[in-house]
A and B are shown apart, each in its own frame.
Chain A
C-alpha cells in the first residue's frame, strides 16, 4: 500500500511556466515532508523539505505548500527552466517511525525550451 500518493506521473511545461506536483498521505504521524530531485543516472538529492508547523516554505524558485487538514502537500517550481527537467519524488517520515522515508511514485518533469 502506497503511503504517499503522488501525481501527475509525468509533466511537460514550457520554459518560464509553473510546474506543480501534488502529494497526499494518510498517516497523521508523518511530521517531515521532503522533496527529492533525481537526474538521469544519478541518485536522488534533497531539494527542499517542510515540517507541518508551517504552511509554506520557499527556497529560490521552489516552494512547498502544505495543507495539514487535507493531508496534502505540493511542490511549485516557478519560472521553470530546462535544467529543472528531472524526476521529482515527494516523501514523508515521522520521528516515531524511525525516521524512515516513504516515497511517492515520482513525477518526470520535462521543461521545453
Chain B
C-alpha cells in the first residue's frame, strides 16, 4: 500500500462548488503539506501543518482552507471553486526533524469548469 494516499485522484467540478481533497499517510510523520502544481510554475505551497494543532499558511493560501483531523489525515478545501484553481494538487509529509525529505502522494487532478 502507498505511504501517502490522496482522494480523489481526479475531480471535475463547477465554479462556485465546495470541494474537499483528502490526504492520508501511514508514515507516522508529524508534518504534512499541500501544494499545487501548475505548468511553468512548479510546486507552490498552499498550507502546512507541523502537528494536529499547528496549521500555517503557505505562499498561496487565498481561496483555500485546511483541516488536520488527525496526525495521519490532512484535508484541503476549496470553499467556492473558481477556474483558476484548476491544477494538480499534491499532499506531502515529512518527519519533524529539520531538513528532511518530503514524501509526496500521487496527486489529485482538479478541473474547475
The chain A residues found within 8 Å of chain B, CB to CB, are 2, 6, 9, 31-32, 34, 41-46, 49, 51, 89, 93, 95, 98-106
Check B107–A43 contact: CB distance below 8 A: yes
Bound form: Cα–Cα A83–B106 in Å: 19
Check A105–B42 contact: CB distance below 8 A: yes
Bound form: Cα–Cα A101–B48 in Å: 11
Task: Name the contact of B99 in the complex, choosing from A6, A89, A93 (C-beta under 8 A).
Answer: A93
Prevailing SS type, chain A contact patch = loop
* Shortest distance from the beta carbon of A25 to any chain B beta carbon, whole Å: 13
Check A45–B106 contact: CB distance below 8 A: no
Q: How many residues of B contact A (CB 8 A)?
A: 25
* Shortest distance from the beta carbon of B60 to any chain A beta carbon, whole Å: 12
Check B101–A34 contact: CB distance below 8 A: yes
Q: A43-B4, A43-B90, A44-B90 are in contact. Are A104 and B42 (CB under 8 A)?
A: yes
B83 at the binding interface (Cβ < 8 Å): no
Check A9–B40 contact: CB distance below 8 A: yes
Check B58–A89 contact: CB distance below 8 A: no
Q: Which residue of B lies closest to A3 (CB)?
A: B59
Tell me the B7-45 residues at the A interface (CB within 8 Å): 33, 40-45
12 contacts between A and B (CB under 8 A): A6-B42, A9-B40, A34-B101, A43-B4, A43-B105, A45-B104, A49-B101, A89-B43, A99-B98, A100-B45, A100-B58, A103-B44
Q: A43-B90, A44-B90 are in contact. Are A101 and B98 (CB under 8 A)?
A: no
* Shortest distance from the beta carbon of B55 to any chain A beta carbon, whole Å: 12
